[in-house]
């Protein structure tokens, strides 16, 4: 079974459309939250995910956009963007976000936005934080986002190893438990501006792989739409640098 894993789309429709056209045939599409916030096209992104049949979880920006997550911890740019988003989203988007679970479990997979022990807020920033989270989910694999950094953490004999997610180098998952982050579709922060996502190939045996992919998209278009919407200029500029 092959699953496309997308996270942190952040209302960036050109990035999502580029990923959608890059996708090989997959059985399922999982989305790890922060579908809206920062970017200029929240309604269009949600309608596209609905048409794709994506299975999503709730991110901190999603909840803040409909008022169920407190935006008090957001930095000023993020808060300005979330206020714009709250006023821009339509009834369909609001209802869709309202149905999203914080945790999704299915077979060998768990999916969260932040971390298994704190699905909305915790950032898994390194092996030490990852190690504290392996006891917080029961499935073999856990998909997460929130940091916007592609990475795999594997737990082998009580040791947690980290491997940065590089395109063209599928990670063999073997039998080890793992925490998997595909990176961000709509606001990459690993120094590469191309949209990031991943393909999870679940083999019945031990040959499962997690493949990181990058896709060029029309950054100018997203930046223009952000300026037209009056979103903070720094949020548009950072897309160019992937930071």
Give the footprint of Zn ion on this chain (CB under 5 A): 8, 34
Tokens of 113: 């936005």
Residue (35 or 43) nearer to Zn ion, CB:
35
Query: 133, 179 in Cβ contact below 8 A?
Result: yes
- Return the number of the residue (8 or 122) whose C-beta is nearest Zn ion: 8
Shortest distance in whole angstroms from residue 208 CB to Zn ion: 26
How far apart, in whole angstroms, are the C-alpha atoms of residue 75 and residue 78? 5
CA distance 131 to 145: 16
- Of 100 and 202, CB closest to Zn ion: 100
The nearer residue to Zn ion, 81 or 178, going by C-beta atoms, is 81
Closest separation between CB of residue 184 and Zn ion, Å?
A: 6
Q: How far is the CB of 187 from Zn ion (least distance, A)?
A: 7
Q: Residue number with the shortest CB distance to Zn ion?
A: 34
| 111: number of Cβ within 10 Å | 30
Q: Which two tokens stand for residue 101?
A: 């679970």
Q: At its nearest, how many Å lie between Zn ion and the CB of residue 89?
A: 16
Phi and psi dihedrals of 10, rounded to 5?
Answer: 50, 50
Within the chain, what is the greatest distance between any pair of CA atoms? 52
Strands 109-111 and 141-143 come out as parallel
Pick the closer one to Zn ion by CB: 34 or 122. Answer: 34
Q: How far is the CB of 78 from Zn ion (least distance, A)?
A: 9
The dihedral region occupied by 181, where left means phi > 0, alpha psi between -120 and 50, and beta the remainder, is: beta
């Amino acid at each position: 079974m092959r699953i496309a894993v997308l996270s942190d789309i952040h209302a960036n429709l050109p990035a999502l459309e580029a990923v959608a056209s890059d996708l090989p045939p997959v059985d399922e599409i999982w989305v790890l939250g922060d579908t809206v916030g920062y970017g200029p096209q929240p309604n269009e992104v949600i309608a596209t995910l609905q048409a794709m049949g994506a299975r999503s979880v709730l991110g901190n920006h999603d909840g803040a956009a409909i008022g169920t997550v407190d935006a008090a911890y957001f930095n000023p740019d993020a808060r300005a963007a979330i206020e714009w988003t709250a006023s821009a989203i339509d009834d369909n988007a609001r209802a869709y976000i309202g149905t999203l679970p914080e945790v999704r479990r299915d077979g060998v997979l768990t999916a969260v936005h932040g971390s298994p022990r704190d699905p909305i807020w915790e950032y898994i920033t390194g092996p030490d934080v990852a190690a504290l989270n392996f006891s917080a989910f029961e499935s073999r694999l856990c998909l997460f986002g929130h940091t916007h950094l592609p990475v795999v953490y594997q737990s082998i004999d009580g040791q947690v190893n980290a491997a940065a997610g590089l395109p063209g180098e599928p990670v063999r998952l073997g039998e080890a438990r793992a925490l998997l982050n595909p990176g961000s579709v709509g606001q990459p922060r690993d120094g590469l501006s191309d949209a990031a996502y991943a393909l999870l190939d679940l083999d019945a045996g031990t040959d499962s792989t997690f493949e990181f992919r990058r896709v060029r998209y029309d950054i100018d278009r997203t930046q223009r739409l952000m300026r037209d919407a009056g979103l903070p200029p720094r949020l548009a500029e950072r897309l160019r640098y992937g930071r």
